[in-house]
Structure 1
Amino acid sequence: MPIPTSTTPDGFEFRDLNGNGVLDPYEDTRLSPQERTEDLLGRLSLAEKAGLMFQTVIEVGADGELVEAPGRISKSATSDVVVGKYLNHFNVHEIRTARQAASWSNRLQALAETTPHGIPVTISTDPRHAFVENAGVGFSAGPFSQWPEGLGLAALDDLDAVRRFADVARQEYVAVGIRAALHPQVDLATEPRWGRQAQTLGHDADRVAEFTAAYLEGFQTSQLGPQSVACTTKHFPGGGPQKDGEDAHFPYGREQVYPGGMFDYHLKPFREAIRRGTAAMMPYYGMPIGLEVNGAAIEEVGFGYNRQIVTGLLREELGYDGVVVTDWELVNDNHVGDQVLPARAWGVESLSPSERMAKIVDAGCDQFGGEECIDLLVDLVNRGVVTEARIDESVRRLLLVKFRLGLFDSPFVDEEAAEQIVGRADFREQGFAAQAASTTVLVNSGRLPLTPGLRVYSENIRLTDDFEAVAIPEQADVALVRLMAPFEPRNDLFLEAWFHQGSLDFPPGLIHRLARISDHCPLVVVVTLDRPAVLTPLVPFVSALVADFGSSDAAVLAALTGKIPPRGKLPIEIPRSMDAVRASREDVPSETENPVFPLHFGLSL
C-alpha cells in the first residue's frame, strides 16, 4: 500500500518516505528539486548511491504481479534488485495490456517505498509504438497506439506530426507509469547497410535536428514535470557510421569509422537535443577508428569508456550536464539461457569487469545500462579507485530528474484511467493516418490509386473488402505484392537473429518470379524499408513501386487507394547497387553513386 500522508503541526501534509515521523527537506514539496536533491544525497548510504547508478531490464508478470525470479531477459527477482540492491531505474520489456502494466507499476512503486528512503522507481522503455519487435532495440505497439517507425515519421517531413506522435506516446506512457524514454534515436543513417536505421529519423542532419526538437517537446513538454517523460537521446556522438554497416552490438561490428571526415555532421542532432534540454544521453557501443577531434587522436575504445568523448566533448565543449547512461552490458558478459553475448567492451576486452567499470566512471558516465553489479562499484569506492565525491556527481544528476518528474510526490497511476488512455480511439486513428500518409510512392505508371472492385492477386498483404481476391495473376486486374527489405539471417549470437544486416540485394529468384507475375497483369510492389533496399531490378517491370516504414496492411491499402493520400518523402536515399553501397563512405550522407531514388524523393497520387 502507498505510504500514508503525514501532517506537520502547522498542517502541512507530506509523504513520510523514510518513516521517521518528521518532514525532511527532501519530502517537502515547497522546496525546489535542487534543494530536495541535495538533502537526500546527504542522507544516502554508499550502497543506496550505487543502486541509483544502475539501470537494467525488468519484466512484468502476466497478471501485473512482480516477477520474483529471473525472467527471459531480466537477470534477477524484482525484490532482489529493488530491496536487496537498491536499484530504482528499470527498462520494462513485454507489456500485454494497459491494466497489467499499470497494476505492475503500482506494485513496483509500493515495493520501492519499503527501501530506507522510499526512492521511487523510474520505469523506462525502448520504443514501443511501431512495428519492429527486437528485444535489443524496441517493441511492437501491443496495447499502445501504433505509428510508423522513426523513418516513417521522418518521411512525413512534418514537424507537427512528429510533435503529435511524441505527445500521444507521452500520454500513454505516463498512464501506465513509464516516465523515461530510451529514445529518440537520432543517429544519422548514412551507412545503408546498418541494421538500426528503422528507429532513426533519416540522414539529413539539419532536418533530423529539427525532428529531434519536436520529438523532445512532445515527450518532455516545455520543461520536465509531473506529466513529462524524460528522454534519453541516443547514441552520442552518432552511431550511424559503422564499418561496412555491421552493428556494434556484436564483436564483428565494433568499429566506427569516419573516412569522409564527417564527425561534426553527425553531432548536429545531439547539439539540438542539448539545446532542448534532453534529460539524458546514451553513447553507442562503437569503437572509433582513426578519429581525430579538435586535432587530438581519440582513444580507440567504445564511446561509453571514452573520456575524450563523454567528458571532453559532451560535458566540457558542448556544456551538457544531464545524465549519461551507457548502452547495455559494457561491464559483464550477458548470459541468457544457453546463449552468451560478450560484454561490449570494445577496445578494453582485456580489462576485468571492475577495471571496465572504473574506466566508464572516469569517462564521465552516470549510469550503467543492463547491469546490476553494485558490489563492484562499492568496492571501487572502498578501495579508493573511485571517490565518493565522484559518485555524488552522478547521483545528484539522477535524483534531480526523479524530483523534476514528480515521482517522489506521486509515483502511482490510476489503473482505470490507464485502460481509457492507452490505445484510445483517437490516438489509434492518428497513428493509422500517419502510417498511411508516410507511405512513399517511388514509381507510378498510372496504376495508382487502386480503384474499388478490382480483381487482385496478392501476396503478403491482407486485402480489404474493396477488392475481389483471385488465386492467380492470370485472373487479376492487378497484382499486389508486399516485401520486407532484404537481409542476411544470422543466429549465432544472442539478439543477432533480430537484427537485419548484410546485403541489400533481393534474391535473383524472387526478382525473376515477380517479373513473371508482371507478364500477366500490372504489378504493384510495396517494400517495407527498415533499411534501404536495392530496388533497381524491380523498376523495369513494376507498374507501381511503393515504400513504407512500418504500416499495417490496412494503412498501406488506405494509401494505395488514395483514401489517405500518401505523401511520404524518402528520409534516406535508395542505392542503385551493392557495388555503389560498398564504394560509399560510411559517415557521408547521400554518397552512393547515381542512386535510383535520391533523398527526399516521393511522388504524389
Structure 2
Amino acid sequence: MTHPRRTVLAAALGAAAAAATASAAQADGAQDDSAQADNGRGEKRFVKRRLKAMSLEEKVGQLFTVYAYGRTVDTTDAADVAKNQETHGVNNAAELIAAYKVGGIIYFTWSNNVANPAQITGLSNGLQAASTADGGEPLLIATDQEHGLVVRITAPATQLPGAMALGATHDTGAAYDAAVISGAELRAMGLNTNFAPDADVNVNPANPVIGVRSFGSDAAHVAAFAAAQVEGYQARGDLAATVKHFPGHGDTEDDSHTDLPQIDHTYEEWQEVDAPPFRAAIDAGVGAIMSAHIQFPALDPTLTPATLSKPILTGLLREELGYEGVIVTDSLAMEGVREGYGDDRIPVLALLAGIDMLLMPVDLDLAYNAVLAAVANGELTEARIDESVTRILGLKYRLGLYDDPYADPDEVANVVGIAPHLEAAQALSDRTTTLVTNDGTLPIPVDGGSVLVTGWGETTTNLLTAEFTKRGFAPTRVVTGIAPTRAQIDAAVAAAAGKGFIVVSTNGVADNPTQADLVKALAATGVPVVALGVKNPYDIAHLGDDVNAYLATYSYAADGLESAVAVVLGHLAPQGRLPVDIPSAEDPESVLFAFGHGLSYE
C-alpha cells in the first residue's frame, strides 16, 4: 500500500537525517564549535595557513575541476587508460591528481564513473585518499544531478522529479524535500558538490537547452523554488548546491553547447526576470554559482561571453548582488565559450573576469600552464589567484572535508535508493501531472480493455505500455519517433482500429510538425485521443482540438509516466498546475494557457 505523502516524506527525511548523524559520527573529530561560531574567523585562520603553505603550482591546480576516466582511482582498464592518456597524459585519476593537484573531480556516465552506488563510493574515497596524501587538499567531488532530464547517477539511486515538474506542484516544500533526499544520497556516495539547481527563468518556449530544467516562467516562482532546493541540498551542511547559469539562460533559442547564444533583455528586464532567482539563492547561502556561456549586450556591450566578462561576474554578481562565494564556469569544452577564444586564453580571461573554478578545460595541461604563464608575465597576479583559492578552500572547510572527506561504504546501502526515498519520489511525482485540456474523456471510465500506445520514444512507449498492462489493459504499441513518416502514421492509424482509446506521447511538436500530423490522423479515426507532452509542456499549442485531453508530464522518467497513466485512468487525481505560460502557436504574444492553469476531476 502506498503511504500517504506526509508519512512517506517523514520517513524519507528521517532516513536522511539518520544518515547525516551516522556520517557525522564517522569523523575523527568535529570542527571546533567556537570556530564555527566566531563569524568565520576560524575558517579564515585555517585557510590562511593552508594557503601560505602552498606553492603557486598547487594553488593553480586548485582552480580546476576536471574529469578522469575509470571506475576506480587507479584504474588499469585498457580503454580507460587510453582515454586518460589521450585527454590528460596520465593513466588514471591518481596520476592526474599527483600531477596537477586539482581542486575537484566531476563524474559522468561517459567517463565510466557511475556504475552503481558501491562503486561510486569506492571511487570517491579513493580520490580523496589520493588527493589528501602527503597533506594535500581534499577534493570537491561533483556531478550534475538535477533530476528529470539531467541525471548522471541513475537507479538504484532515487530518481526524483525535475525542476519544472516540481514547479508544477506550486509547493516549495516539494522542491526542498526532493533536494534533501537527493543530497543525502549524493553525500552517502562521497559527492560533496551538486551542479544544481537550475535558476534560469524559462520565458522562451523555444529554448533548446533549458526548458524543463527550469522551475518555470515566472521569476518569483523560480526564485522561491531555487532557494528551497539550495536549502534542501545544503540542509546537512556537507554538500554544496550550485545555481546556474548566471546571469540567466532562460530566453534563448540557441544551445551554448554548440553555439554562442545572445540574450536581448534590457538591464531592467534582467533585474525583473533573470536576477531574482540568483538573489534568492545568494540569500539562501548557496555554495557556488555557475556562469553561462552567453552574450548579454545590456550587461556587457562588448559581447564578451558572460564566463569571460568582468562587468557581469565582478560588476553584477560580486558587487551588485553581493555574492562572496565560489563562481564556477560551465564546461570550458562548450562552443559557447570557445567561439573566438583560444583554449589557452579562456582560463586566464575567466580568472580576470572573476571566475574562481575552471570546469573541464579542453586541454588541462595547456590551461594549467597558461595560468602559470599569465602569473609569470604579470597578466595575473598571485594575489588574484589567492582570492579564488581562498574561496575554494573556504568552501571545502565549511563542508567539513578537512575533518573527514570520506563516505562510509557500510552505510551507502542504508541511504541510497532505500524504500522510503523511492516512495517519497513517487509521492512527489504524483503531485506534478498537469491536466491542461479535457473534454470529459478523462478519466477513462473502464477498468481494463484495449488501448493503443503510440508516438515518440522507444523507452517512453515501453514504459507506458507496461503501466497499462499492469493495470489490466491489453495495449498495442506503435512507435512513430520524433518525426513520424507517412508510413509510420498509417501504421498507427491502422493499429487504432477497434481500440477503446489512444495515448500518444509527444515531444517538441513545434520543431517536428509531423507529430501534429500523427495526432490529426489519429483523431480522424474517431477513437478518443489522449496526448501526453512528455518533455516541454508547450506541445498542446500545436495540437489544437485534435486531442480529447492533454496532460503535461514534464519528463519521460518512469515515475512521471506512472503518475500520468494513473491520472488517465482516474486512479489518481490530477494535481499539477502549469509553472509556465503556454503561448498560442499562431500568436506567440497571446497566452493560450496561463501560469497556474490546471484542470481537476471535481
TM-score of Structure 1 vs Structure 2, range by shorter chain: 0.7 to 0.9
- 1:81-101 Cα offsets, whole Å, 9 max, x none, are 211011131111122211111
Which of 236, 240, 245 is the matching residue for 1:230?
240
Is 1:187–1:234's contact at 8 Å kept on the other side of the alignment? yes
Distance 1:240 1:171 in 2: 29
Q: Which residue of structure 2 lines up, in the alignment, with residue 317 of structure 1?
A: 320
Is 1:63–1:100's contact at 8 Å kept on the other side of the alignment? no
Deviation of 1:233 after TM superposition, in Å, equals 1.0
1:453 to 2:448 alignment: yes
Distance 2:318 2:275 in 1: 14
Q: Which residue of structure 1 lines up, in the alignment, with residue 212 of structure 2?
A: 198
Which of 77, 81, 93 is the matching residue for 1:69?
81
Q: Which residue of structure 2 lines up, in the alignment, with residue 88 of structure 1?
A: 103
Q: Which residue of structure 2 lines up, in the alignment, with residue 99 of structure 1?
A: 118
In the alignment of these two chains, the number of paired residues is 519
Deviation of 1:361 after TM superposition, in Å, equals 1.4
Distance 2:434 2:422 in 1: 21
CA 1:470–1:366: 2 relative to 1, 3 Å = closer
SS at match of 1:596: strand
Q: Which residue of structure 2 lines up, in the alignment, with residue 568 of structure 1?
A: 576
Q: Which residue of structure 2 lines up, in the alignment, with residue 483 of structure 1?
A: 506
Structure 1, unpaired ranges of 5+: 1-12, 16-24, 335-340, 488-502, 581-591
- 1:216-246 Cα offsets, whole Å, 9 max, x none, are 110112xx73xx310111111111122xx11
1:300 partner amino acid: L
Is 1:64–1:102's contact at 8 Å kept on the other side of the alignment? no
1:306 partner amino acid: S
1:36 to 2:46 alignment: yes
TM-score normalized by the length of structure 1: 0.80
- 1:184-333 equivalences under 5 Å are 184-195=197-208, 196-221=210-235, 225=237, 228-242=238-252, 245-251=253-259, 253-258=260-265, 262-265=269-272, 266-289=274-297, 291=298, 293=299, 298-329=301-332
1:360 to 2:360 alignment: no
Is 2:288–2:325's contact at 8 Å kept on the other side of the alignment? yes
Which of 594, 599, 602 is the matching residue for 1:603?
599
Instruction: State the identity %.
Output: 28
Is 1:52–1:87's contact at 8 Å kept on the other side of the alignment? yes
- 1:90-129 equivalences under 5 Å are 90-94=105-109, 95-114=114-133, 116-127=134-145, 129=147
TM-score normalized by the length of structure 2: 0.81
Which of 445, 462, 473 is the matching residue for 2:496?
473
1:345 partner amino acid: R
Q: Does 85-94 or 67-76 show the bigger shift?
A: 67-76
SS at match of 1:285: coil
- 1:391-402 equivalences under 5 Å are 391-402=385-396
Which of 354, 359, 363 is the matching residue for 1:369?
359
CA 1:66–1:183: 2 relative to 1, 3 Å = farther
Between Structure 1 and Structure 2, the one with more helix by share is: 2
Distance 2:86 2:292 in 1: 21
Is 1:288–1:303's contact at 8 Å kept on the other side of the alignment? yes
Which of 397, 400, 404 is the matching residue for 1:406?
400
Structure 2, unpaired ranges of 5+: 1-26, 30-34, 455-460, 477-494
Distance 1:169 1:596 in 2: 35
1:143 to 2:153 alignment: no
- CA RMSD of the aligned region, Å? 2.7
SS at match of 1:415: coil
Distance 2:186 2:97 in 1: 21
Is 2:506–2:532's contact at 8 Å kept on the other side of the alignment? yes
Is 1:69–1:78's contact at 8 Å kept on the other side of the alignment? no
CA 1:143–1:66: 2 relative to 1, 3 Å = farther
